[in-house]
Amino acid sequence: MKVVIQRVTKASVTIERQKVASINNGLLILLGIVNEDTAEDIKWLSNKITNLRIFNDENDVMNRSLKDINGEAIAVSQFTLHAATKKGNRPSYIKAAKPDVAIPLYEAFVKQLETDLGKTVQTGEFGADMKVELLNDGPVTIIIDSKNKE
């Protein structure tokens, strides 16, 4: 699993002109899934995201986690994170898991994140054409790949 997390002061997801998710201080999480991803990847990644110290403390030092600040999260599926761009100018998405594999893993990731955070995680809609709006705070943007744990 690969994620791009962005620290935000606000973020939202709109589908067909209908806002389906909206948060204030927290993280926008873009999640890409491949066939090899497992429950172990989900647990490791959720734990890493919820405990990553990327929010400022009273001394303006990034020393607090999403859990520490009682922050909110939106998780959005994004198969394009696994784009292969080595050859030619048209990205290939062959590494991205098909919906029959990706949807259950995406849903399990959201549930694990909710368990680790102790609150509801908002989502987009798997496979939908989504408009994602955010105000990146910092800017802080971090890429994490569960296959690169060491």
Q: For the chain, give the number of residues.
A: 150
Residues involved in catalysis = 80
Q: Which long-range contacts (CB under 8 A, 24 or more apart) does 40-47 make?
A: 41/1, 41/146, 41/147, 42/1, 42/105, 42/108, 42/109, 42/112, 43/112, 44/146, 44/149, 45/1, 45/3, 45/109, 45/144, 45/146, 46/109, 46/112, 46/113, 46/115, 46/116, 47/116
